[in-house]
Chain A
Amino acid sequence: MLGSKSIKELHDMLINGEITCQELIDDAIKNSHKLQDECNAFVTILDSVKPTDVNDSLLSGIPYTCKDNYSTKDILSTGSSNTLKDYVPFFTATAIKNLENKGAILTSKTVMDEFGMGGTGTTGHTGIVLNPWDNKRICAGSSAGSACAVAAGVYPYATGSDTGDSIRKPAAYCGIVGYKPTYGMISRYGLFPFASSLDHCGCLTRTVEDAAIVTDAMKGIDENDMTSWDSSDIHLYDNLTDDVKGKKVCYIKEICNLDNYPNASDELKEHLANFHNIINKYKELGVEVTEVSVDHTLLNALASVYVVISCAEATSNMSNLTGIIFGPRAKADNYIDMMKEYRTKGFSPLIKRRFVIGSYVLQAENKDRYFHNAQRVRRLLVDAWKNLFKDYDAVVLPVGSGPAKLIENSKDQLDNNTQILEEHLQIGNFGGFPSITIPDGFVNNLPVGINITGNCYNDQTVLNLAYALESKMNYKGQVAGGVNNG
């Protein structure tokens, strides 16, 4: 399976004439269909795709897959929602256009939680995405199909989007790399919004190096996105180094230490022990590792802050979905009934619940208590992290409370005991911080991950710290055994 190789390897093979672009395309499409049968990772697999010229660009001639919430011209883009089940856009998202300009070849679109609003990969309108490491388990979400396809070795990389942890958690559960750069480094133009102030574009890969290559290609200031910024002097791949001597990282006692979790499962125990073991590898790299403390009350609030802000913005962002201008128009006697019918039938119950929450917290009588308070606490959390970044180059934390959960236990509900552990990645979205998850071992034969988050615009440092740690472990480039190597 050619997609199981790294971008550099594939590029060299193309340049050396060992394979052709057409062969790569055929291989990607064939393996996508196989993975589709096994794990249901895709909404769309294209029938035939034209090869591109192979040139100096590392991505040229190499197929990739894309989360279905990116607008792709002439290609079905559903956001995994019935409300857009027939929507074929006439414009392409800037990030995808940027990849296209580098010669990257899009051959499929991946399943996600409906509009990114979910963390399980079980709520897309085309069904549940199964974990390629163990088909009884979830991939996590919302970039479930993207994580699945990369972990299975069908593609070297996939685009994803991350509003709470939607790239970084499925990456951990699928044993791969998931990276969202600083807010605004990659344009959101053409990304179906979930919560605009939290939404990030990013990528899923199997190596840190590939994450740097793909991000270099996706990023760039965009006249269509006012929150994008000029990063033309940032070259992540060129400046990637494992020389991180003298850097300082910290981890947070209230999140990482086992004694916070009195009823810890064996999985959690193993996961945290592994985390402490791995973070200590930084010392071998000449990196200072420090345990720090953050107010527990503040950490306890983060999940609620996320729910309030993300639901409020989502309610508003998805008000354009009326089925009038686009989407399958409902039949009714008048505009209001058409819209009601379309939205009632189109959205899943989970999303409707979030709309109700979002609407409630924005109501005049509730707004200060919920929405404005959530914004205040968001600022406090971001300030707490920015304070840490005064002394440390990155905050390093375990992802989740262990490996991927079984599908039957995957209800999108918060477990109070391990809530902070499950939700802390959202702080990366609150602050727009660059944040990367890399695989750091196995628990119960299933992959687990570690996350490295730095201050805004310090993407290079974050990637270098990840690159260096990756080199100290044996999980770089690992592929799940879910698909036969054909």
Chain B
Amino acid sequence: MDNYQVMIGLEMHCEMSKTNSKVFSSAKNGYSDEANSFIRPVDLAFPGTLPVVNKEAVRLALKASMILNCKQPEYMYFERKNYYYPDLPKGYQITQETKPAPVGIYGYLDYEFKGETKRVRINNIHLEEDSASQDHYPTFSTLDYNRAGVPLLELVTEPDMHSAEEAVAFLEAMRAIYQYADISDADSKKGQIRCDVNVSICDKDKDISNPDNWGTKVEIKNVNSFGGVRDAINYEIDRQIALKESGEYDKMEQQTRRFDEDTMTTIYMRNKANAIDYKYFVEPNIPKFKITGEWLDEIRATIPEMPIERKNKYMNQFGLSEYDASILVKEKDISNFYEETLTLGSDPKKTANWLTSTILGYLNKNELEIKDIYLTPKMLFDLMKLVDDGKISSKQSKEVLTHVLEDKKDPNEVVKSLGMEQIGDDNLIRELAIKAIEEHLELIEEYRKGRNVFDFFVGQIMKATRGQANPSLTAKIIKEEIDKR
């Protein structure tokens, strides 16, 4: 591996889940367990049906184009990509080609990788329609057209990534952007993100800014998870290096492979000579339409704060570590939860700690989204306030959280019902403190000689109150009482 440089390019397909209807059809854009329930005649390509462009899908696509620093077209065109496949009811997909002009061309995205800012050049981003989903059984297959016609954004990068981790970091950055800009939930568990990956290697000493030095490009189709992207790239790098080492690399053709999740390998599909000729031509049923400067300005004004901007704010204004800040901004829902909690008046660092350690740990362990759990920003705020006010200990707060999540109860309620409320009563603690000191007067002498005796006295009071005394208050009162003597 040390003797080679790796070049990786991505084609990232992301379903736009934030439009009400499909991209060329008035059918609902959504996910349903009931097959073929979100369909209109056009989604099944019944004779005589025609595509009608969803303006909202175009708006969101242009928004993505702007965020990726691409050039937007003067006129919007769509193209037909002609091929037969069981999941493609029309026998062609309505999409966009680099000519005449897709929603975005020649942009870039800066993203963070291991604390460094990296730039990936974007060749183009275009708007197209998704195909039907298929399920295969031993003797038959089923087709569900709910997905057919769902708006899809395809992003094509230049081969600017150099390791599987970099590629995954880029994808995570893109996912965050789609979420932040309200373009898509970008949920790979729902199959909303699918990738094709290009991998090539070249010798370490070659200058990769010169395309002549690039190795043979291998495309891996249909990788459907970020983990899959990482595994497919790593497998492919190893495979290509092995070919180099055994002297067979020069015989390798430019080719398309697919990633097999069961064997974790890539499998040969076709070479360049067998590439499909898609016979593109401009979709005649969609007249070209002008994208006005005013409309672009309107769209630009709707672009919200992006993750990288939030991250900088968290580090510079809230004093969070780089690590915590990047974890918080990775998913929009988490970041929003964080910011909502802050608006209630909580401490940025403490809130960040709660989220990054306890809550995210719980979500990961149980494979849940933050929106799926009972905890709200208000409850987290209340929970932290209970600790700050000395009503419960920080150790108890973890227990309270568990009850909030498991029993679906408000933190204050949990504290009450478990009788957890700390003893914050000055007089009671003082009484107990005086009693303990008097029982162990010898320790006062020790204390004067410099020994730490507070832990002992606090322990005594905790024992007496079965742990319900507020520890900091207790320590304060003990010190006052000792100092009096």
- Report which A residues bind B (CB closer than 8 A): 69-71, 77, 79, 84, 87, 89-91, 93, 188-193, 195-197, 223-227, 312-313, 315-316, 318-322, 324-326, 335-336, 339, 359, 362-364, 367, 371
Interface residue from A223, A320, A363 paired with B47 (Cβ < 8 Å): A320
Q: A226-B52, A227-B287, A321-B47 are in contact. List 6 more A-B contacts (CB 8 A).
A: A189-B48, A225-B52, A313-B281, A320-B91, A364-B277, A364-B279
24 contacts between A and B (CB under 8 A): A71-B48, A89-B48, A91-B41, A188-B50, A192-B47, A196-B285, A223-B52, A224-B49, A226-B50, A227-B285, A315-B279, A316-B91, A316-B92, A316-B279, A319-B82, A319-B90, A319-B92, A320-B89, A321-B47, A325-B46, A326-B46, A335-B141, A363-B277, A363-B279
B86 proximal to A (CB < 8 A): yes
Contact A226 B285 (CB under 8 A): yes
B482 proximal to A (CB < 8 A): no
Shortest beta-carbon distance from A80 to chain B in Å = 12
Secondary structure at the A interface, as helix, strand, loop or mixed, is loop
- Report which B residues bind A (CB closer than 8 A): 41, 44-53, 80, 82, 84, 86, 89-92, 141, 277, 279, 281, 284-287
Q: What's the Cα separation between A322 and B86 when bound, in Å?
A: 9
Q: What's the Cα separation between A315 and B91 when bound, in Å?
A: 10
Contact A312 B41 (CB under 8 A): no
Shortest beta-carbon distance from A223 to chain B in Å = 7
User: Across the interface, which residues of A come within 8 angstroms of B90, CB to CB?
Assistant: 319-320
Contact A226 B53 (CB under 8 A): yes
Q: A196-B284, A316-B91 are in contact. Are A335 and B277 (CB under 8 A)?
A: no
Closest 6 CB pairs between A and B? A319-B91, A362-B279, A197-B284, A320-B45, A196-B284, A190-B48
Shortest beta-carbon distance from B43 to chain A in Å = 10
User: Across the interface, which residues of A come within 8 angstroms of B49, CB to CB?
Assistant: 189-190, 224
Contact B84 A339 (CB under 8 A): yes
Interface centre among A70, A189, A191 (most CB of B within 10 A): A189
User: Across the interface, which residues of B come within 8 angstroms of A322, CB to CB?
Assistant: 84, 91
Interface centre among A193, A320, A359 (most CB of B within 10 A): A320
How many residue pairs at the A-B interface have CB separations less than 8 Å? 97
Shortest beta-carbon distance from B229 to chain A in Å = 29
User: Across the interface, which residues of A come within 8 angstroms of B51, CB to CB?
Assistant: 226
Contact B281 A226 (CB under 8 A): no
User: Across the interface, which residues of B come within 8 angstroms of A367, CB to CB?
Assistant: 279, 281
Shortest beta-carbon distance from A426 to chain B in Å = 16
Contact A362 B82 (CB under 8 A): yes
User: Across the interface, which residues of A come within 8 angstroms of B279, CB to CB?
Assistant: 315-316, 359, 362-364, 367
Q: What's the Cα separation between A320 and B49 when bound, in Å?
A: 11
Contact B50 A225 (CB under 8 A): yes
Shortest beta-carbon distance from B416 to chain A in Å = 58
Shortest beta-carbon distance from A228 to chain B in Å = 9
Shortest beta-carbon distance from B141 to chain A in Å = 8
Q: A227-B287, A319-B84 are in contact. Are A191 and B48 (CB under 8 A)?
A: yes
Shortest beta-carbon distance from A247 to chain B in Å = 30
Contact B53 A325 (CB under 8 A): no
In the complex formed, the residue of B with least CB distance to A339 is B84
Shortest beta-carbon distance from A151 to chain B in Å = 26
User: Across the interface, which residues of A come within 8 angstroms of B281, CB to CB?
Assistant: 312-313, 316, 362, 367, 371
Shortest beta-carbon distance from A326 to chain B in Å = 6
In the complex formed, the residue of A with least CB distance to B289 is A226
Contact B47 A224 (CB under 8 A): no
Shortest beta-carbon distance from A344 to chain B in Å = 14
In the complex formed, the residue of B with least CB distance to A189 is B50
